[in-house]
Structure 1
Amino acid sequence: MPNHRPLQSATWVFFAWAAFAVAIGAMAAAVIYMPVPPWSRGFVAVAALMLVQASVVLTKTVRDQAESLAEAEQGPAR
């Protein structure tokens, strides 16, 4: 029988998405209202998007690595 992890609660999933939306909105507002030339705002906006993308990739990589280690410790699947 496979080892199942419990699902996240709906409240936690909502909190995670809400926090993400607030962070993106705050960063967008900061970039839009920054008192600098447009090229500087574009640079910061691209850097912010790259940071979000890198965070998603890092999170998935760490999760996959942890799952692989857990599977290796359990031995071969039956």
Structure 2
Amino acid sequence: MSNYVQKPSQAWTLFTYAQFAIAAVMMAGGIWFLEASFSAKGFYAMAALMLVSSTAGITKSIRDAEESDRIYNKLEDARTERLLAEVSSSDAA
């Protein structure tokens, strides 16, 4: 069984941070220069912040579920190997 966990490259991580920063600046600039009342701008700003927050939350939930499944599968594999070892040792006796 392999314990190798693939990690994203530093370039990809930098790209994602830069992409987020550029998108945030563009959204803020778009809201700032929007020809609307202050309350409408506030509404759009709150909606943008909630969208970013909920995206981070759902991403974390999906990742946590995947990691939980991975741990569960490792435990099941260990149990199966133990049972097979017990069966093979009782057959040898």
For Structure 1 versus Structure 2, the TM-score category normalised by the shorter chain is: 0.7 to 0.9
Tell me which stretches of 4 or more aligned residues in structure 1 moved more than 6 Å: none
Where in structure 2 are the equivalents of 1:1-78 lying within 5 Å? 3-75=3-75
Give the counterpart letter for 2:8 in structure 1.
Q
Q: How much does 1:55 deviate?
A: 0.7
Aligned to 2:45, the other structure's residue is in SS state: helix
TM-score for the superposition, normalised by structure 2: 0.75
Count the aligned residue pairs: 78
Which structure would you say has the larger Rg? Answer: 2
TM-score for the superposition, normalised by structure 1: 0.88
Give the counterpart letter for 1:49 in structure 2.
L
**Distance in 2 (alpha carbons) for counterparts of 1:49 and 1:3:** 37
Q: Structure 1 regions of 5+ residues with no counterpart?
A: none
Q: Return the structure number with greater relative CO, CA threshold 8 A, min gap 6.
A: 1
Give a deviation string over 1:55-77, Cα, whole Å, max 9, x none. 1111111000011011111216x
Q: Structure 2 regions of 5+ residues with no counterpart?
A: 79-93
